[in-house]
Structure 1
Amino acid sequence: MVTLEETDLCFPQLLNSSCRKPIRPHFETMLIYILLSFIALLTAALNLLVIISISHFKQLHTPTNLLLLSLAVSDFFVGLLMFFQIILIDGCWFLGDLMCTLYYFLDYILTSTSVGTMVLISVDRYVAICHPLHYSTKITVKGVALCTCLCWVCSALYNNLIMNNNLKQPGRYNTCIGQCVIVIDHVAGLVDLFLTFIGPVTVIVVLYMRVFVVAVSQARAMRSHIAVVNIQCSVKVTKKSELKAAGTLGVVIVVFLLCLCPYFCLTLTGQDTMLNASSAAFVICLFYFNSCLNPLIYTFFYPWFRKSVQVIVTLQILKPDSSKINIL
C-alpha cells in the first residue's frame, strides 16, 4: 500500500533522496495547466506569424521590421519554453540535470536578447525622430541585421560566462532528486543585474524621453502649420508614419518593462527567484506572457500585420511571387 508520504514525493521509489511536491488543490493545478498551455500555444503561433510575415514579404524588409523579427524569434522560443515551465508546476523536474541547465541557459539568452533588441529599437526610433535626415544613411538593413546577430551572439557568450559553473557540472546545486535550480555567485549576479536590467532600462527610458519630447514638438508644429521647428535635435521634417511607429513601439517597450520589472525587483530585494518556488511563479509567468502580448499589439496598430496574416491564413502565400504582394 502506498503511504501518504510516498505520494507527495517526485520520485516515490527514491524515498529520502527525492524532492517533495507542493500541496496544491487539484482544480487549481488543472486550471494553471490549461491556462499556461493556452498562453504557450498562442505565443508560439502568433510570433510564428510575425516571423513568416516579415521574412516572406519583401515590402516588410525594413530596418525597424528586422528588429521586430529578432524580437519575434525570441518570443517564439519563449512560447516553447513555457511548456517546460508547465512541467515545473508540480514542483518536480523529470528531464534530468543537463536539460534543467540548458533550459535556464536558453531562458537567460532569450531574456538578454530581448532586452538588447529593445535597446536597438529605442536607438532606431531615436535616430528616426531626432535625426530624420540621417536615418537612411545611419540605419540600414545590413547594419541592423549585423547588430541583431551580434546581439544574439554576445548574449550567448555572456550567459555562457555567467553560467559557467552550472554548465560544467549540471545539477551541482540541487539538494534533492527532482529539483531544478542554478546558482550564480553574488558578484556575477550584480553584474548581470546591471547589464541586463538597470543599464538597458536607463538607456531605453532616456532615448524614449527624448523621442517623446521631439514627437510632441513635431505634433505642435504640424498643428500650427509650421514647416521648420528649431529644437535641440534640429529636426526639420518628421514623417507622420515615423511618429506613429514610434508610438506603437513605445507601447511595446512600456509593456515589456511592466512585465520585466517585477522579476528583477525580486532580484533587487534579494528574494528567492527559483523557478520551482511558488513565490516567483507569478512574476516569471508575467514575463513570459509579454511574449504573447507583442503580436497582439502589432495586430491593433499595424495594418500590414493584419493583412499579412490574412494572406498567410488563406494560403495565398503559397502562390508564385506572393512575396511581392502589396502589404503596406
Structure 2
Amino acid sequence: SRHFRRPGDSPPCEPADKGETPQLKLGERPYQLSILTIISVFRHFQTTTNIILLSMAVSDLLVGLAVMPLMIVTLDFCCSFICFLFDLLSFVLTCASIGNMVLISVDRYVAICYPLRYSSIKPSTVKIFVSVCWISSIIYNLILLKDNLLHIDSSSCYKKCPFSLNDISAIVDVFITFYVPLTVIIVLYTRVFVVAVTQARAMRSRVSTTGSKTVSAMKSELRAARTLGIVILFFFICFLPYYVASLIGQDMNIEASTGQHLLFFMF
C-alpha cells in the first residue's frame, strides 16, 4: 500500500528540475466549438434539450480551461492543493458528463415515447435535474476521494497526482459512474428504437390523413434522438477501456502518465 503524509507534513510546492521536465505538446483542440455551442444554445435557451446540452458543453469546456492546465502544472510543480484540484475536477467533470448523458437519454425517451407529456415539462424542472446532477457529482466525489485529498504526499507527486481506492470503493465507483448509467441508457434507447420504428411505419400511412407539420415534428424528434444516440455511443466507447480494466482488477492507482493518456483519449 502507498504511504501518505498529511498535508501539514508535506513540503511546500517546489519546482521540478527543468532539465527533467518533458515537453508536452498539445494539439489544437476544438474547445472553441464548446464556446460556440454555449452561445448558440443561449439564443434558444428555454428548451429542455438545450439546457442539458448547455450543461454538457460547460463540463467539456471546463476540462480545457481547468483540468488540462492543472495537468500541465503538475509536470513542473507539485503541492497538495494542485493535486486536490486536479483529482477533484477530473472526477467531478467526468461524473457530471455521464450524468448529463443519462439526462439526455431520459429527455429523448420522454420526447419520443410520451410526446404529450413531454410538451408539458417546464424548463425550470430540467434546470433542477441538471443542478442535482452537478451537486450530486461534487458530493459523491468528495466522499470518494476524501482520504486521498487529506493524505496527498507532495514528495511523491512529482509529475503525477497519485490517488488510490480500495477494492470495494473501486468496484462501487465503476458501477455507479459507468455500468449503471450505461444500462439505463441502453434500456431507454432500446425503447426509443422500438417506438421510432413503430412511428416510422405509422408516418407513412399518416401523410395523407394528417398535416405535414405533424409528420415533420415527429421526424425532427426522431432525428434528434438518432444524433444524440450516436454521440452517447461514442462517448461510452471512449470510457470503456478504463472501466473494463478497473472491473477486472487492474491497479487502481492511476499515475500521471496513464491519467494523461486517459484524459487525452476521453476528451
Partner of 1:311: none
Check 1:238–1:266 CA distance in 2 against 1; reply closer, same or farther (3 A cut): same
Deviation of 1:178 (Å)? 4.6
SS of the residue corresponding to residue 256 of structure 2 reads coil
Partner of 1:302: none
- Residue 25 (structure 2) aligned to one of 19, 33, 39: 33
Identity of aligned residues (%): 41
Deviation of 1:277 (Å)? 3.2
Deviation of 1:152 (Å)? 0.5
- Residue 76 (structure 1) aligned to one of 61, 66, 70: 61
The answer for unaligned runs of 5 or more in structure 1 is: 1-9, 14-19, 23-28, 229-235, 289-328
Partner of 1:258: 237
Written as runs of structure 1 = structure 2, the 5 A alignment for 1:176-215 is 177-215=158-196
Check 1:270–1:175 CA distance in 2 against 1; reply closer, same or farther (3 A cut): farther
Check 1:243–1:163 CA distance in 2 against 1; reply closer, same or farther (3 A cut): same
Contact 1:98-1:170 at 8 Å conserved across structures: no
Structure 1 residue identity aligned to 2:41: I
Deviation of 1:11 (Å)? 3.8
Separation in structure 1 between the aligned mates of residue 250 and residue 257 of structure 2, nearest angstrom: 11
Written as runs of structure 1 = structure 2, the 5 A alignment for 1:71-220 is 71-80=56-65, 81-87=67-73, 92=75, 94-137=77-120, 139-171=121-153, 175=156, 177-220=158-201
The answer for unaligned runs of 5 or more in structure 2 is: 1-14, 210-214
Q: Which stretch shows the higher mean deviation, 241-250 or 110-119?
A: 241-250
Instruction: Give TM-score scaled by structure 2 length.
Output: 0.82
Deviation of 1:63 (Å)? 0.5
Moved over 6 A (4+): none
Check 1:218–1:110 CA distance in 2 against 1; reply closer, same or farther (3 A cut): same
Deviation of 1:95 (Å)? 3.7
SS of the residue corresponding to residue 25 of structure 2 reads helix
Instruction: Give TM-score scaled by structure 1 length.
Output: 0.67
1:286 paired with 2:265, answer: yes
Larger Rg belongs to: 1
Structure 2 residue identity aligned to 1:124: D
Check 1:128–1:177 CA distance in 2 against 1; reply closer, same or farther (3 A cut): closer
Deviation of 1:12 (Å)? 4.9
Partner of 1:276: 256
Written as runs of structure 1 = structure 2, the 5 A alignment for 1:11-30 is 11-12=16-17
Deviation of 1:48 (Å)? 1.5
Separation in structure 2 between the aligned mates of residue 238 and residue 49 of structure 1, nearest angstrom: 26
Deviation of 1:275 (Å)? 4.2
Partner of 2:5: none
Deviation of 1:73 (Å)? 0.5
Separation in structure 1 between the aligned mates of residue 161 and residue 128 of structure 2, nearest angstrom: 35
Deviation of 1:187 (Å)? 1.6
Deviation of 1:177 (Å)? 4.5
Deviation of 1:179 (Å)? 3.7
* Root-mean-square deviation (Å): 2.8
Contact 2:160-2:255 at 8 Å conserved across structures: no
Q: How many pairs does the alignment contain?
A: 246
Q: Deviations over 1:251-310 (max 9, x none)?
A: 2211211112122122123334624235x644431111xxxxxxxxxxxxxxxxxxxxxx
Structure 2 residue identity aligned to 1:83: P
Deviation of 1:126 (Å)? 0.5
Q: Deviations over 1:201-243 (max 9, x none)?
A: 0000110111011111111221244799xxxxxxx99722111
Contact 1:93-1:179 at 8 Å conserved across structures: no
Structure 2 residue identity aligned to 1:211: V
Separation in structure 2 between the aligned mates of residue 227 and residue 120 of structure 1, nearest angstrom: 35
Structure 2 residue identity aligned to 1:254: L
Structure 2 residue identity aligned to 1:258: I
